[in-house]
Chains A and B, each alone.
Chain A
Amino acid sequence: MLEIKDLHAEVGGKEILKGINLTINPGEIHAVMGPNGAGKSTLSYVLSGRDGYEVTSGSVLYKGEDLLDMDPDERACEGVFLAFQYPVEIPGVATATFLKTALNAQKKARGEEELDAMQFLKLVREKTAELGIKDDMLKRAVNVGFSGGEKKRNEVLQMALLQPDLMLLDETDSGLDIDALKIAADGVNRLRSPERSALVITHYQRLLEYIVPDFVHVLADGQIVKSGDKSLALELEEKGYAEISAA
Chain B
Amino acid sequence: MAVSQETVEQVASVSEKYKYGFVSDIEADTAPKGLSEDIVRFISAKKEEPEWLLEWRLKAYRYWLTMQEPSWAKVDYPKIDYQDIYYYSAPKTKDKPKSLDEVDPELLEVYEKLGIPLKEQEVLAGVEGAANVAVDAVFDSVSVATTFRERLEKEGVIFCPISEAVRDHPELVKKYLGTVVPYTDNFFAALNSAVFTDGSFCYIPKGVRCPMELSTYFRINAAQTGQFERTLIIADDASYVSYLEGCTAPMRDENQLHAAVVELVILDDAEIKYSTVQNWYPGDENGVGGIYNFVTKRAACRGKNAKVSWTQVETGSAITWKYPSCILQGENSVGEFYSIAITNNLQQADTGTKMIHLGKNTSSTIISKGISAGKAQSTYRGLVRMGRKAENARNHTVCDSLLIGDKCGAHTVPYIENQSRTAKIEHEATTSKVSEEQMFYCQQRGLSEEDSMALIVNGFCKEVLQELPMEFAVEAQKLVGISLEGSVG
List the B residue with the shortest CB-CB distance to A72. B443
Which of B3-11, B74-82, B268-276 sits within the interface?
A: B3-11
Question: Cβ of B441 and Cβ of A105 under 8 Å apart?
Answer: no
- Contact-residue size bin, chain A (C-beta under 8 Å from the other chain): 35 or more
Query: Which residues from B are CB-within-8-Å of A48?
Result: 440, 444
Question: Cβ of A93 and Cβ of B448 under 8 Å apart?
Answer: no
Query: Which residues from A are CB-within-8-Å of B445?
Result: 76, 98, 102, 105-106, 158, 162
Q: Please report the C-alpha to C-alpha distance between residue A88 and residue B452 in the assembled complex, in whole angstroms.
A: 13
Question: Cβ of A92 and Cβ of B447 under 8 Å apart?
Answer: no
Q: Please report the C-alpha to C-alpha distance between residue A76 and residue B461 in the assembled complex, in whole angstroms.
A: 26
Q: In the complex, what's the smallest C-beta–C-beta distance from B322 to chain A, in angstroms?
A: 24
Query: Which residues from B are CB-within-8-Å of A238?
Result: none
List the B residue with the shortest CB-CB distance to A139. B5
A101-B455, A106-B446 given as contacts; is B9 within 8 A of A50 (CB)?
no
- Contact-residue size bin, chain B (C-beta under 8 Å from the other chain): 20 to 34
B437-459 Cβ-contact flags toward A at 8 Å (1 or 0):
11011111111110110011011
Q: Please report the C-alpha to C-alpha distance between residue A50 and residue B8 in the assembled complex, in whole angstroms.
A: 25
Query: Which residues from B are CB-within-8-Å of A92?
Result: 458-463
Question: Cβ of A73 and Cβ of B446 under 8 Å apart?
Answer: yes
Question: Cβ of A90 and Cβ of B442 under 8 Å apart?
Answer: yes
Query: Which residues from A are CB-within-8-Å of B448?
Result: 71, 73, 105
Q: In the complex, what's the smallest C-beta–C-beta distance from B30 to chain A, in angstroms?
A: 46
Q: Please report the C-alpha to C-alpha distance between residue A142 and residue B456 in the assembled complex, in whole angstroms.
A: 10
Question: Cβ of B438 and Cβ of A90 under 8 Å apart?
Answer: yes
Q: Out of A50, A94, A141, A162, which one reaches B446, CB within 8 Å?
A: A162
Q: Please report the C-alpha to C-alpha distance between residue A97 and residue B441 in the assembled complex, in whole angstroms.
A: 14
Instruction: Flag whether B406 is at the interface (Cβ < 8 A).
Output: no
Query: Which residues from B are CB-within-8-Å of A207?
Result: none
Q: Please report the C-alpha to C-alpha distance between residue A72 and residue B448 in the assembled complex, in whole angstroms.
A: 8
Query: Which residues from A are CB-within-8-Å of B6?
Result: 97, 100, 117
Query: Which residues from B are CB-within-8-Å of A141?
Result: 459
Instruction: Tell me the chain B residues, 250-287 only, with Cβ under 8 Å from chain A.
Output: none
Instruction: Flag whether B153 is at the interface (Cβ < 8 A).
Output: no
Query: Which residues from B are CB-within-8-Å of A50?
Result: 440
- Shortest beta-carbon contacts, A-B, top 6: A92-B459, A93-B459, A92-B462, A102-B445, A76-B446, A72-B443
With A73-B446, A91-B460 known, 8 other A-B pairs at CB within 8 A are A52-B436, A72-B440, A73-B444, A73-B448, A73-B449, A82-B444, A102-B446, A158-B445
What would be 27 A-B contacts, judged by CB atoms less than 8 Å apart? A48-B444, A49-B443, A49-B444, A52-B436, A71-B448, A71-B449, A72-B444, A73-B443, A73-B447, A73-B448, A73-B449, A76-B446, A84-B444, A87-B441, A90-B456, A93-B456, A97-B8, A97-B9, A101-B8, A101-B447, A104-B12, A105-B12, A105-B445, A105-B446, A105-B448, A141-B459, A142-B459
